[in-house]
Chain A
Amino acid sequence: MRDLVRVAWAVAAKDLRIEWRTKTALLSALVFAILVLAILYVARDPTAVSALDIAPGALWVTFSFAAMVGLNRAFLLEQENHAFDGVLLTGASPTAVFIGKLLANLVFVGTVEAVGLPLFVLFYDVPVFARLPQLLMVTAMATLAFVAVGTVLSAMAVRTRFAELMLPVLLLPFLVPPVVGAVQVTARILAGRPMSEMMGWLQLLAAFDIAFCTLAILLFEATLDE
Chain B
Amino acid sequence: MAPLVRLHVEAAARRFGYRSVFRDVSLTVSEGEVLCLIGPNGAGKTTLLKVLAGLLKPTKGTVTRKGRVGMVSHHPMVYGALTGRENLEFFRRLSVDVPSSRIGELLKGLSLEHYADERARNYSQGLLQRLSIARALLADPEILLLDEPTSGLDDPSTQAVLQLLADLRSRGRAVVLVTHNFDRVATVATTVGFLVKGALCTLPPDASLAPDDVVRHYRSLLADA
Binding site for B on A (CB under 8 A): 3, 6-7, 10-11, 14, 17-18, 21-22, 77, 80-83, 85-92, 225-226
Contacts and interface: CB of A to CB of B under 8 A. Distances in A.
22 contacts: A7-B93, A7-B94, A10-B90, A80-B80, A81-B76, A81-B77, A81-B128, A82-B77, A83-B78, A85-B50, A85-B53, A86-B78, A87-B94, A88-B55, A89-B70, A89-B71, A90-B139, A91-B68, A91-B69, A91-B95, A92-B95, A225-B56
Nearest to A79: B75
B73 interface: yes
A3 B54 CA distance: 21
A56 B70 CA distance: 51
B85 interface: no
Interface centre among A6, A22, A88, by most chain B C-beta atoms within 10 angstroms, is A88
A81 B57 contact: no
Contact of B82 (A3, A18, A87, A89): A18
Contacts of A80: 79-80
Nearest to A226: B56
Contacts of B95: 90-92
Contact of B94 (A21, A85, A90): A90
A89 B77 contact: yes
Interface of B: 16, 50, 53-57, 68-71, 73, 75-82, 86, 90-91, 93-96, 120, 128, 135-136, 139
B146 to A, nearest CB: 13
A81 to B, nearest CB: 5
Nearest to A15: B79
B55 A81 contact: no
Interface centre among B55, B71, B73, by most chain A C-beta atoms within 10 angstroms, is B55
9 closest pairs, A vs B, by CB? Answer: A86-B77, A82-B75, A10-B93, A90-B94, A92-B94, A18-B81, A90-B95, A81-B76, A14-B90
Chain A interface helix/strand/loop/mixed? helix
Contacts of B71: 85, 89
Given A87-B94, A89-B71, A90-B95, A14 B77 contact: no
A225 B81 contact: no
B55 A14 contact: no
Nearest to A87: B94
A3 B70 contact: no
Contact of B73 (A14, A85, A90): A85
B96 A83 contact: no
Given A86-B135, A88-B55, A81 B75 contact: yes
Nearest to B136: A89
Contacts of B120: 81
Nearest to B69: A89
A188 to B, nearest CB: 43
A225 B90 CA distance: 23
Contacts of A77: 79, 81
Contacts of A21: 81
B100 to A, nearest CB: 13
Contacts of B79: 14, 18, 77, 80-81, 83
